[in-house]
């Protein structure tokens, strides 16, 4: 692919990520409150939020496999359009049980698009620049999460339905951007046998995949818990709808600011330990939140947390895509499945833990995430790092 075409393709990916992130972000602070207003218990709120994550856990591995065979663009467009349609149906006066189904369908759309999106980046960017590229992808997503939650909080004043319409429109727009910007992508021959990633039981690729999977499980568990409890926690300390939406945006802002530095660091430092340190340090901030009841202080602590979190995604994605140059879509699908499964578990547990006590989900999530980071260390160490075209296993 010519350099100009590479830049165009990467710009298209970034634009699609930003637009879809804006739509998805608009619903994050509103969905738990919307469900509570519809009569859902705390536990049922967790079930509805988790439904999309369960769908992603089920769908991302086969979606990644298909992205290697049908094409990145095709899977991204189909997935974004499916999610857009599900978002629009939320405006109908359906029972909470049907909202579980809708969230599952929406999750299947996300599952179809996500592995293709992440693999497409590695298709158009040289290995030595992957950290910076994934840093920009993360920045685009977080920029959407700055605009989205604030927009959702403001739109909710005019009716919850406006948030779901906005989300659907944004996802459809992202599909259009991806369709226009992305050209044909590498894919496997239909008759090729085997699943290469699954055969990597040893060696750098297998160890890297295992290490990233374990780290991803920690990230997902923590994220799933926060998706359910954050709005409830903010409401418990007196925040209004617009302030809750603003809290999501102000958490995302440091990510956007720090992410270019994180991408630069991922191309120059050991990606394994950069990712592990980012996830572990972020998790340890969680137990401080229940001690805080001043909203500006909570947002300031969140900014520190976000700055640390920014280093995880570029480092993990760049490390994995460099270690597994074949079947990148499938590799991303496997990791995405682990992320979504862990998020689903976190979401399912979060409502019940929050009902026990405000501090319980924060502490439980931090302990579990740090334990998983420590469990990933042996595989990350065995995988080694790539430096100057050579692989070294020296930690």
Domain 3-181+202-390 superfamily per CATH: MFS general substrate transporter like domains (1.20.1250.20)
Burial 133-159 (b: 16+ CB within 10 A, else e): bbbbbbbbbbbbbbbbbbbbbbbbeee
Q: What pLDDT does residue 190 have? A: 39
Mean pLDDT is lowest, of 57-71, 91-105, 146-160, 167-181, for 146-160
Tokens read off for 210:
């295992």
Work out whether strand 390-392 and strand 385-387 pair parallel, antiparallel, or are unpaired.
antiparallel
State pLDDT tens for residues 72-114: 888 989 999 999 998 888 888 778 778 888 889 988 998 888 8
How far apart are the C-alpha atoms of 162 and 154, rounded to whole Å? 10
State pLDDT tens for residues 216-267: 999 999 988 998 888 889 988 988 878 887 887 778 778 788 888 888 898 8
Does the structure show a pLDDT above 80 at 29?
A: no
Q: What pLDDT does residue 177 have? A: 84
Mean pLDDT for the chain?
82
Q: What pLDDT does residue 364 have? A: 94
Which of the 8 DSSP states describes residue 26? H
Does the structure show a pLDDT above 70 at 391?
A: no
Instruction: Band the pLDDT of 54: cuts 50, 70, 90.
Output: confident
Which of the 8 DSSP states describes residue 324? -
Ranges assigned E (strand) in the chain: 385-387, 390-392
Q: Which residue has the tokens 């931090």?
A: 366
Tokens read off for 244:
């809750």
Tokens read off for 262:
């994180």
Sequence-distant (≥ 6) Cβ neighbours of residue 172 within 8 angstroms = 80, 81, 84
Q: What pLDDT does residue 191 have? A: 39
DSSP, residue by residue, 240-308:
-HHHHHHHHHHHHHHHHHHHHHHHHHHTTS-HHHHHHHHHHHHHHHGGGGGG---HHHHHHHHHHHHHH
Sequence-distant (≥ 6) Cβ neighbours of residue 353 within 8 angstroms = 225, 229, 360, 361, 364
How far apart are the C-alpha atoms of 357 and 217, rounded to whole Å? 24
Q: List C-alpha distances in Å: 322 to 206, 209, 216, 251, 306.
A: 12, 11, 17, 30, 25
Mean pLDDT of 291-305: 91
Nearest residue to 135 (alpha-carbon basis) of 272, 249, 15, 266 = 266
Contact 18, 141 (CB under 8 A): yes
Phi-psi region of 257 (alpha: psi -120 to 50; beta: other; left: phi over 0): alpha
Contact 42, 312 (CB under 8 A): no
Predicted TM-score of the model (pTM): 0.73
């Amino acid at each position: 692919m010519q350099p100009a075409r590479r830049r165009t393709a990467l710009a298209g990916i970034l634009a699609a990520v930003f637009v879809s992130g804006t739509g998805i972000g608009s619903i994050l602070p509103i969905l738990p409150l919307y469900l509570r207003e519809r009569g859902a218990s705390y536990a049922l709120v967790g079930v509805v939020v988790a439904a999309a994550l369960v769908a992603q856990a089920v769908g991302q591995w086969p979606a990644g496999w298909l992205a290697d065979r049908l094409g990145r663009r095709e899977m991204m467009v189909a997935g974004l359009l499916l999610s857009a349609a599900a978002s629009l149906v939320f405006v109908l006066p359906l029972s909470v049980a049907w909202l579980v189904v809708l969230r599952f369908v929406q999750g299947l759309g996300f599952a179809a698009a996500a592995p293709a999106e992440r693999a497409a980046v590695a298709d158009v960017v040289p290995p030595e620049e992957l950290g910076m590229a994934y840093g920009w992808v993360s920045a685009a997503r977080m920029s959407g999460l700055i605009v989205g939650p604030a927009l959702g909080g403001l739109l909710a004043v005019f009716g919850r339905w406006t948030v779901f319409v906005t989300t659907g429109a944004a996802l459809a727009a992202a599909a259009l951007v991806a369709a226009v910007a992305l050209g044909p992508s590498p894919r496997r021959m239909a008759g090729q046998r085997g699943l290469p990633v699954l055969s990597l039981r040893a060696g750098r690729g297998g160890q890297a995949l295992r290490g990233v999977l374990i780290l991803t499980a920690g990230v997902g568990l923590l994220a799933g818990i926060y998706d359910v409890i954050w709005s409830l926690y903010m409401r418990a300390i007196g925040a209004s709808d617009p302030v809750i939406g603003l809290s999501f945006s102000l958490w995302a802002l440091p990510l956007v600011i720090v992410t270019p530095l994180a991408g630069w660091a991922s191309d120059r430092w050991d990606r394994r330990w950069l990712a592990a340190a980012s996830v572990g340090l972020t998790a340890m901030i969680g137990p401080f939140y229940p001690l805080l009841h001043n909203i500006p202080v909570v947002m300031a602590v969140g900014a520190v947390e976000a700055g640390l979190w920014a280093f995880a995604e570029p480092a993990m994605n760049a490390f994995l895509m460099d270690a597994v140059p074949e079947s990148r879509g499938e590799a991303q699908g496997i990791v995405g499945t682990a992320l979504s499964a862990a998020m689903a578990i976190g979401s399912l547990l979060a409502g019940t833990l929050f009902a026990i006590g405000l501090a319980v989900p924060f502490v439980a999530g931090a302990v579990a995430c740090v334990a998983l980071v420590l469990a990933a260390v042996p595989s990350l160490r065995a995988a080694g790092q790539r430096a100057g075209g050579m692989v070294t296993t020296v930690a």
